[in-house]
Each structure stands twice: as C-alpha cells, then as structure tokens.
Structure 1
Amino acid sequence: MTIHPLVNTEQAEAWNGYEGHHWADHADRWDAAVGGVNNPLLAAAALSEDQQVLDIGCGTGQTTRLAARRARRAMGIDLSAPMLARARATATEQGIGNVQFQQGDAQIHPFDEAAYDVAISRGAIMFFADPVAAFTNILRALRPGGRLAFVCPQDMHRNDWFTAPVTALLGHPPTPSDPDDAPGMFSLADPPRIHHVLSQAGFHDVTTTPVTVPMIYGRDAADAATFFLSSGPVRHQLHGADRTTVNQALDAVTTALRPYEHPDGVRFSAAWWLATATCP
C-alpha cells in the first residue's frame, strides 16, 4: 500500500482520532442531518452513466455511493481511516461495486491527470491549509470541460444549527475565525472568496447559488444536546471539566434547542452555498 504525504496534518489527526470515529460510529445520524443538500449537489453535478466521479472529503461515503448509482464509477477520497472503513463496509452491504475509496489528502494527492469528469464535495472543502493549491490539484484531476460542484455553509449567523448550541455552550455568540481565511467550517462563507479561490486555481464559469434545506439534529432537544456534546470539538472544549460543569452545559444547550423542536425532531433551516465551476 502506498502512503502519500499530508499537509493538512491537524485535520488528519482529528479525523483519524475521536472525531473520525464519532462520525463513523454515527454515520446514519450525520447523513440524516446533512443529507438535505444531496439532491441539490447531485443535480448541479449533472452526472451521467458514462462519467467518472471524484468525491472530495467523502467521509463515510454517502455522496460517493449516490454518485456511483448515477455514473460509471465513483472514487471517494478522505483523510479519515475510520470513516473510510465505514464507507467501504456500507458500499459492500449495499452491493455497490463501481465505487472505490482512497485515504489521502486531496490538497496534494497525486491524482491521475484528467481522470475524472466531475468532482463533488458535501461540506468538506473548507478545511484545506492552502485552498488555492488544493483546488489547483483537483483541477488537474479533471478532464478539460470537467465540472466541479460542492456545497459549503453560508455565514455562521445564518445557521442556527451552529450558533444556537454554541452560544449556549460558550455563554456568548461565536465569532469568526481569525484570520477570516483560516481553515474552518465557515472559511468559504463569503461568495467573493469562493470566486477568488476557484479562479486563482484555474477554474472558469464560477457560480454560487444559495440553498436552504432542513437539518434534523435529534429526536428532541435533550437527545440533540447530548449528541452535540459528544461531537469532537465540543468534547475537546469540555475536556477536563467536572461533572457539574458538563451537566450545566448540557442543560444550557438543551434549553437553547427547545425552540427548534418539531414533530419530526429538532429541525433547523441550514443555509448553504452551492458552488459550481468548470475546467477549461
């Protein structure tokens, strides 16, 4: 097995540690939470049965499997070994044979040149250490005229699924990363930045379209709060805290999520950007 180098080492550590195992162990729940963007993403990708698809940051592989059902073959790449193990197992269980998963860093991975017709990504392209270099590498993997389609969150303050529990946890509203272009969940929340990064990487015909979809976060407020506190970043935030502090955090987040309870669960409106571009 060939081991390729990494440049996003901090992300690799997280996604091969607790965070990756958490997503792998709760793949169905995470897919249900963010799966509302699947249809807009795949519609923008405009896949056909003769195409080769590259799924960037494929995680546990739901979008890769969906792409494989529409295309000739799909390959998912991700930093996380535990998530890829879950992706391979699920593909086998579902009898999807035209799919492949590769552990690697998409920013520097030695993709075969012009090997893919379409590249997609569901919320996984905001964490590159050097996004221009990463998208330049992805561009190299696309054939001339190939298509890129991805979704990423809009501004955090348009996404209560993030701000409501985080504000309750911190005791104050969250603030953007410093600097604004640092890797992170909302690093591509500004459409001009998306256009700049993709254009600098060599893509043409860059578009950004707002998409709002429901996000189901749990059965009820208590269930959603417990799940939120078990996620990697929050678990890190509470590391070393005593039981009283943890219980206070759980109570605060539960209270903050109650206004979002609906008959089908804790439901938010999630605001995303759907970005597309073409390879010249």
Structure 2
Amino acid sequence: MGNIRNTEQFEVWNGADGHHWAEHHARYDTMAGGYDEHLFEAAALSEHSRVLDIGCGTGQTTRTAARMAHRGEAVGLDLSEPMLARAQQIAEAEKLTNVTFEQGDAQVYPFTEERFDTVTSRAGVMFFDDPVGAFTNIASAMRPGGRLVFACHREPADSVAAIFAAPAEYLPTPGFADIDPGVTDFADPDRVCDVLTAAGFAAVTVTGFETPAVLGRDCRDATEFLFDAQLRSLVAGADAAAVRKAKAAVEAALRPHETDLVRIPARGWLYTAHNSGRS
C-alpha cells in the first residue's frame, strides 16, 4: 500500500496477531477498557467534535468518540485490515452514521489539513519507527490549538511483573525492557515529551494512572488466554511438558488476583498536548 511506511508493524497486524485481536475483540477491549475513563475525560469531547483516533484497532474508542461527538465525526485509523473490518461490522450493527475507518500508517497518511480538532489514541501510538515524523504528520491533520490526548503503557507493578515472569523457570521469558522498543520507549515520559515538542506540540502534560484490567473469569481462563495472546511466542516450538508447567506457574501467580473475576492493576501514562500550529 502507498500509505504504509512501517512495514514491520503492518505485517504483524495483518497477520496472526491482527486476526487474533479481531476474533477476540471483546476480550481485548475489556482488558483495556479501564484506560477509557482517563482518555475521554481528558479529551473533553463536545457533540460537535471532529475526532481522529490513531491505532484504533477494532474501533471501540472510535465508536465511543462518535457517540460523544454525535453532531461531529470520528475517524479511526489503523494498519490492520482484519481489525478494521471488525470495527466497521460493529459500527454498522450499532447504527453509527458519523464514524468511518481508514487503513493507513499515521506516519505518512495523506491527512486533510486541519480537519480535526481532537486526536485520541488508546495505546496506539507506541509503534512508529519515526515518532517525530509521525506526530508531525498527525499535527498537520489538526487545527491550530487542537487537542492531542493519548494513553500508553508504563512499567508494570511488581505484582504484574511477577505474573509474566512466572514461566521463566520453564520457558524463555522476556522482561519489560526486552519487549517491543515502542512500548518501552513510550514508558519514558521524558522521551515522549521530547518527541511531542519536536513535532510541534505545546503545553504537554503527563499523568500516571492505574486501573483494574480484567483478564478472565478465573485463573485457568485467564492463563489460557494469556498463553494464547501475550505469551503466545513463548509456546512456539516449546516442549509440551514445559508449557504445562509454565501455565501452572502463571495460574498460581494469578490466584491472588482472583475474586469474582481475575483483575490485575494496569498502569499507564496519559498525555495531553495542543497543536502549536507550527508549520
């Protein structure tokens, strides 16, 4: 595609990962839904807002924005065709007429200049191979003074780190510093503030928050989903006995978090900024 620069992420999100997220969209949205209260409170959308949602995935946040801006519009942009197909399907079922979805790379997408007054993202801006270029391009789509609001991950609480470290005795387990560089780079507020300032944004603020994330009905259900999702790479080619032991270790680590559901603390950073209008 002509509007794709980040080909590595394009392949990821149009491959097995994208299809998995599209198929299990409700579960992923439930896990990430705690971010939404912080995101939309800061976005302060009006009924007339014109909203661009970056890295929209299967469109939950875009549809929320469309309902809030019911006299305006909400546009979701993502790399993933299977996730966008699901987003469109759900929007049609919900009879939302002011929401559209586009496939593209925000780094190079040919935005209409000054179309949007608000840009949002829920953990969708961490994977650019050129963050300054990406946010500069996003700024071009915003009116001067327009508001940028996004949430991204930060280093996990010790109790959560212990869950993901639990399989280490049986399977090679990456630490937080070893996962996708985008996630770890955007866990550093100084780094992100420098990126936004270089891209022409002003009045940058950053606030840490923690919210419950629902992983499953019980420890067994949550464990199976984690190994099918975030921990899937550990299983590929691994010895079956080692996988069983690793799953047992994760299930035990999750047990203190099990009540009516399994909830773990999800930590994030909330960023806000204004487009300075600098060309």
The TM-score, its normalising length taken from structure 2, stands at: 0.92
**Partner of residue 115, structure 2:** 115
% same residue = 49
Task: Report the Cα distance in structure 1 between the residues aligned to 2:82 and 2:29, rounded to whole angstroms.
Answer: 16
Superposition deviation, residue 183 in structure 1: 3.2
Superposition deviation, residue 237 in structure 1: 2.6
Aligned ranges for residues 265-280 of structure 1 at < 5 Å?
265-280=261-276
Task: Report the Cα distance in structure 2 between the residues aligned to 1:170 and 1:132, rounded to whole angstroms.
Answer: 36
Deviation readout 1:168-204 (Å, 9 max, x if unpaired):
12347714149xxx73323211211121110011100
Contact 1:45 1:118 in 2 (8 A): yes
| Paired AA for residue 174 in structure 1 | G
- Evaluate the alpha carbon distance shift between residue 54 and residue 159 of structure 1 in structure 2; reply closer, same or farther with a 3 A threshold: farther
- Any gaps of 5 or more consecutive residues in structure 2? none
| Paired AA for residue 142 in structure 1 | M
Confirm whether residue 104 of structure 1 aligns to residue 104 of structure 2: yes
**Partner of residue 174, structure 1:** 175
Contact 2:155 2:176 in 1 (8 A): no
| Paired AA for residue 237 in structure 1 | L
Contact 2:107 2:133 in 1 (8 A): yes
Superposition deviation, residue 126 in structure 1: 1.0
Task: Report the Cα distance in structure 2 between the residues aligned to 1:90 and 1:141, rounded to whole angstroms.
Answer: 26
**Partner of residue 59, structure 1:** 57
Task: Report the Cα distance in structure 2 between the residues aligned to 1:92 and 1:30, rounded to whole angstroms.
Answer: 20
- Any gaps of 5 or more consecutive residues in structure 1? none
The root-mean-square deviation of aligned C-alpha atoms, in Å, is 1.6
3-state DSSP of counterpart to 1:50? coil
**Partner of residue 239, structure 1:** 236
Superposition deviation, residue 64 in structure 1: 0.1
| Paired AA for residue 16 in structure 1 | N
Aligned counterpart in structure 2 of residue 255 of structure 1, from 252, 257, 261? 252
Superposition deviation, residue 205 in structure 1: 0.3
| Paired AA for residue 101 in structure 1 | F
The TM-score, its normalising length taken from structure 1, stands at: 0.92
Superposition deviation, residue 223 in structure 1: 0.6
Deviation readout 1:26-78 (Å, 9 max, x if unpaired):
11111111101112101111111222100000000000000001111000000
Superposition deviation, residue 5 in structure 1: 3.3
Task: Report the Cα distance in structure 1 between the residues aligned to 2:254 and 2:107, rounded to whole angstroms.
Answer: 36
Deviation readout 1:254-280 (Å, 9 max, x if unpaired):
1111111112x1111211111000011
Contact 1:164 1:257 in 2 (8 A): no
**Partner of residue 184, structure 1:** 182
Contact 2:223 2:251 in 1 (8 A): yes
Task: Report the Cα distance in structure 2 between the residues aligned to 1:153 and 1:259, rounded to whole angstroms.
Answer: 23
